[in-house]
Structure 1
Amino acid sequence: MSDSTLNPWPAILEDARNYPSPHNSQPIKVRPHAAVDGGSGAVLRATVSYDLDLGLPAESFGIPFGHVCAGVFLESLAVVAAAHGYDVRETLDHAEMDFDSPRRQHRIAEVELVPRDPDAPGEAERDAEARAALERFRTRHTSRRPYDRRAVPAEVRAAAARICADAGAEFRSTDDAALVRRIVHVNQATLFDDLENDAVYGEIMHWLRFSKREAAEKADGLSAEAMLMPGSILRYVMAHRRLWRAPVVGAVIRSIYLRTMRGVHQLGWIEGPSAGPRTTSRPGGRSCGSGSSCTATGSCCTPSAPSSPTPVRTRCSPGRSGPTNRGIAWPGCCSDSATARLRRSRTAVPPPR
């Protein structure tokens, strides 16, 4: 047996580690078991955990974000493993997270790689599709660049809806101009409100990367390059957060930040119950799948970031299609938001990789 057959985890995790996570904090840890598969000598089992030190405890929805992130990783793992010839068998641990726990590794699941029979009927077609799905996963990225005002095609939205329905969630979208403006405004206001909360502000500052060098060295966090603002300026205005409320200077700063939201034509979101880990992690994975379906057709997703879906609901007029009271709404592209904007094609400047 080759090394990759005896222990397929390094090759699989090399791709799976590129799963998207809130604030790009990359909190998922995987520990392959020393125990081996019966008689073959292959290491096929692992424990998947969430590193609480890399979570977002200051956020009002920090725990649901964590479980959504776990679902995103497990979906990513399944996509990558399939291209290597394995199915993934999961045994989920539905215990609630506790950011104050002395045990900093919160177990998410026990997983096992199950080798597929390459000679099974239809396996060649399945393998080809798995490799295509892996390529979509590799090219998937979250864009925070301005939009080109074109709508995501109906067939892409239908594919996202089917993926979400498999997890008991519902994908919905709207191009109602007034509703889009309202929800985008909520997203804009949320950042300004977060800056007034000392704990959330500290958390944002912890994950901001103000230069390409810092972003490359730490290989995590929120790069200033993705914010359409020079790192030195971003560092200054974030360090002096009261400037955001200043009459003249604040208006200029806000206008620069809001450039990332130009051209929003359409909004999409994933909706479902939020009774705890059991109902939160799996739809989180489907959000990753729906984002991949967009990538396959040349569409991209961009997260918005209300800290809670409640402001969105209270600002949506009755009778309009918008996020409802059916629990939490997940993003359409695997991030920590209550709504997700969708755009078709790429803008003139692609997002940094």
Structure 2
Amino acid sequence: MTDQLTAPHLPGPWRTLLDEARRYPSPHNSQPITVRVHDDRRADLFYDLDRGLPAENFGIPFAHVCVGVYLESLATVAAAHGWAVHEDLRLTEMDFDSPRRQHLLGHLELAPVPVTTEAREQSEAFHRRRTSRRPYDRRPVDPRDTAEVAAIAAAMGQEFGRTGERGLVDDLIRVNQETLFDDLRDDAVHAEILAWIRTSTRQAAATRDGLSAETMLIPGPLLRVAMRHRWLWDLPVIGGVFRRAYLATMRGVRELGWLTGPFETPRDHVEAGRCFLRIWLALTRHGVYLHPFGTVITNPRSHAAFVERAGIDESGGRMAWMLFRYGTGQEPPRAWRRRLDAMLLDRDAATVAR
């Protein structure tokens, strides 16, 4: 897969920084962040509401989690090039029914800083980072690596929980599997998922976004039939084929992790996203892959089951807002990303939802 720089000329370091940062992970690989560059130091940040996931429960809060992931991504690559990103954020609730489809998030300004060894290592990890839906190799992760993750989380007001208990791991993987089937029964969520499914290499290459059959490790024709004809999931034989194909990608998972912390305001959601990417990069530095189980969080029944079975306390405005599997294994395929010009807004073209 090749990505050519097709963006128009950008002043200062923006072209390099934005091109690298567009590798940020996003829900359903929807890539909703857009940017309007003013000059060599200043830019505005937006969220493209047409690329959000408002149908899912907590889909709107996770829009701001995605913003936090992007901001941390941009800060990571910028630091390796000798720049700090100063933010003036305007975090208001997103109205996905607004006729103005670009939601203003705030303003960014670059300032020069020395490049450190840590900055280079973080940037290298960012470029290596991938979501792995492949089977893992059953090797336990070094406790020193998970201790580092716990320290990162704690420093940002979050709590990292984990389990290697075989029964609980298998139970939560089944919850994750059944969540997909449950979501497909909801017409709005089903339509939203279907809009982001890419069942062939040609389709994925054309859109450069979404969930491709290649990265999901499910044959394209099977994925197409499974998603378009959801009633087949309930048939004993065919439904069993779909379930086995999905669970085959979960072989070798020995550990699951989750994050619990403040999750009430847009600011909470943005900070959660920053924390998640820092944790992801820490695991990447140690050769550990990660795969979020996002639908377990956004599906109310699955979320309740997860919290109850893991014994998580969600009192005091705290929420278990992320569940993921992590481990080692073969290198996964890289997901497509939109070209840089697709995420840029003209200076006078954006219709802004404030």
TM-score over 0.5 (shorter chain):
yes
- Please state if 1:306 is matched with 2:296: yes
- Please state if 1:346 is matched with 2:329: yes
Give distance in 2, aligned partners of 1:313 and 1:23.
19
1:116-135 equivalences under 5 Å are: 116=113, 123=114, 126-135=115-124
Post-superposition offset of 1:128: 2.5
**Residue 107 of structure 2, aligned match among 98, 110, 124:** 110
Which position in structure 2 is the counterpart of 1:190?
179
**Contact preservation (8 Å) 1:29, 1:49:** yes
- With over 3 angstroms needed to count, the CA separation of the structure-2 counterparts of 1:201 and 1:307, relative to structure 1, is farther
Post-superposition offset of 1:292: 0.4
1:322-341 equivalences under 5 Å are: 322-326=311-315, 327-331=318-322, 339-341=323-325
**Residue 162 of structure 2, aligned match among 169, 173, 179:** 173
Which position in structure 2 is the counterpart of 1:336?
none
Which position in structure 2 is the counterpart of 1:79?
76
Structure 1 unaligned regions, length at least 5: 35-42, 117-122, 332-338
**Contact preservation (8 Å) 1:68, 1:282:** yes
Which position in structure 2 is the counterpart of 1:294?
283
Secondary structure, counterpart of 1:315 in structure 2: helix
**Contact preservation (8 Å) 1:182, 1:315:** no
- TM-score by length of structure 1 reads 0.86
Deviations 1:221-246 (A, max 9, x none): 00101222211221122221111110
Post-superposition offset of 1:166: 2.7
**Segment of structure 1 superposing worse, 290-299 or 225-234:** 225-234
Give distance in 2, aligned partners of 1:170 and 1:311.
22
Give distance in 1, aligned partners of 2:152 and 2:46.
25
Give distance in 2, aligned partners of 1:323 and 1:312.
14
Give distance in 2, aligned partners of 1:204 and 1:272.
27
Give distance in 1, aligned partners of 2:243 and 2:78.
43
Give distance in 1, aligned partners of 2:306 and 2:92.
34
- Please state if 1:20 is matched with 2:11: no
Read off the aligned partner of 1:330 and give its amino acid letter: W
**Residue 265 of structure 2, aligned match among 269, 276, 282:** 276
**Contact preservation (8 Å) 1:23, 1:207:** yes
Secondary structure, counterpart of 1:62 in structure 2: coil
- With over 3 angstroms needed to count, the CA separation of the structure-2 counterparts of 1:309 and 1:212, relative to structure 1, is closer
Sequence identity (%): 50
Read off the aligned partner of 2:207 and give its amino acid letter: K
Q: Which has the higher contact order (CA 8 A, sep 6+)?
A: 2
Post-superposition offset of 1:178: 2.1
Post-superposition offset of 1:303: 1.4
Secondary structure, counterpart of 2:131 in structure 1: coil
**Segment of structure 1 superposing worse, 47-56 or 169-178:** 169-178
Secondary structure, counterpart of 1:131 in structure 2: helix
Which position in structure 2 is the counterpart of 1:201?
190
Structure 2 unaligned regions, length at least 5: 1-8, 335-354
**Contact preservation (8 Å) 1:168, 1:283:** no
1:143-292 equivalences under 5 Å are: 143-292=132-281
Deviations 1:250-308 (A, max 9, x none): 11111111111122211101111211101111111110010000010111101113153
Read off the aligned partner of 1:87 and give its amino acid letter: A
Secondary structure, counterpart of 1:66 in structure 2: helix
**Segment of structure 1 superposing worse, 105-114 or 76-85:** 105-114
Which position in structure 2 is the counterpart of 1:335?
none
**Contact preservation (8 Å) 1:312, 1:323:** no
Give distance in 1, aligned partners of 2:10 and 2:35.
18
- With over 3 angstroms needed to count, the CA separation of the structure-2 counterparts of 1:321 and 1:243, relative to structure 1, is closer
**Residue 8 of structure 1, aligned match among 13, 22, 34:** 13
**Contact preservation (8 Å) 1:183, 1:312:** no
Give distance in 2, aligned partners of 1:129 and 1:315.
39
Read off the aligned partner of 1:54 and give its amino acid letter: R
RMSD over aligned CA atoms reads: 1.9
Give distance in 1, aligned partners of 2:282 and 2:97.
37
Give distance in 2, aligned partners of 1:301 and 1:249.
29
Give distance in 2, aligned partners of 1:140 and 1:62.
24
Matched residues, number = 323
- With over 3 angstroms needed to count, the CA separation of the structure-2 counterparts of 1:309 and 1:206, relative to structure 1, is closer
Read off the aligned partner of 2:320 and give its amino acid letter: A
